[in-house]
């Protein structure tokens, strides 16, 4: 049975990495992957980053923009919740994507700070997004879920 049959999903950056893995996971579960926002009885799932909560050299603008998105998630949860739209965010840690691999030794240094000792596969991030999109998360609104291998725990 497809858990998200009849549901719609908006994916930005859905051509590679986490966005692509998420689009594939949602489609596998029956969701129609769309390029427009649901007007009601839907869900918005923003993607932030661990860099929005931990200062990292060279990532100031990126981290600041994602921190703003985390706060926007909470504001939208309050604003759109009464209309039946849940708004949450997933905050991935280091994830093996083409962009991350281009960081070379810098990426390896970041991975060394992860308690699980490895980077995430994009499909692992997509599974958290899939959970938030599903009915299993029907009472989750305004949450920021860290999928970071324990990075923020230490």
Active site residues: 62
Burial class of 36 by CB neighbour count within 10 A (0 to 12, 13 to 18, 19+):
exposed
Quickly count: other Cβ atoms within 10 Å of residue 13's Cβ.
12
Give dist(CA 149, CA 144) in Å, integer: 15
Give dist(CA 41, CA 61) in Å, integer: 33
- Give the helix/strand (H/E) hosting 145: strand 144-147
Give dist(CA 145, CA 88) in Å, integer: 8
């Amino acid at each position: 049975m497809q858990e998200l049959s009849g549901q719609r999903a908006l994916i930005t950056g859905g051509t590679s990495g986490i966005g692509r893995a998420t689009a594939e996971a949602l489609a596998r579960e029956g969701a129609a992957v769309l390029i427009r926002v649901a007007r009601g009885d839907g869900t918005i799932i923003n993607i932030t980053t661990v860099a929005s909560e931990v200062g990292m050299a060279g990532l100031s603008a990126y981290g600041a923009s994602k921190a703003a998105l985390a706060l926007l998630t909470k504001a939208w949860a309050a604003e759109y919740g009464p209309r039946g739209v849940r708004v949450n965010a997933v905050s991935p840690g280091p994830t093996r994507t083409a962009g991350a691999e281009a960081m070379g030794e810098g990426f390896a240094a970041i991975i060394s700070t992860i308690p699980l000792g490895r980077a995430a596969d994009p499909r692992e991030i997509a599974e958290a997004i899939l959970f938030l999109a599903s009915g299993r998360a029907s009472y989750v609104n305004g949450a920021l879920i860290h999928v970071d291998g324990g990075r923020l725990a230490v």
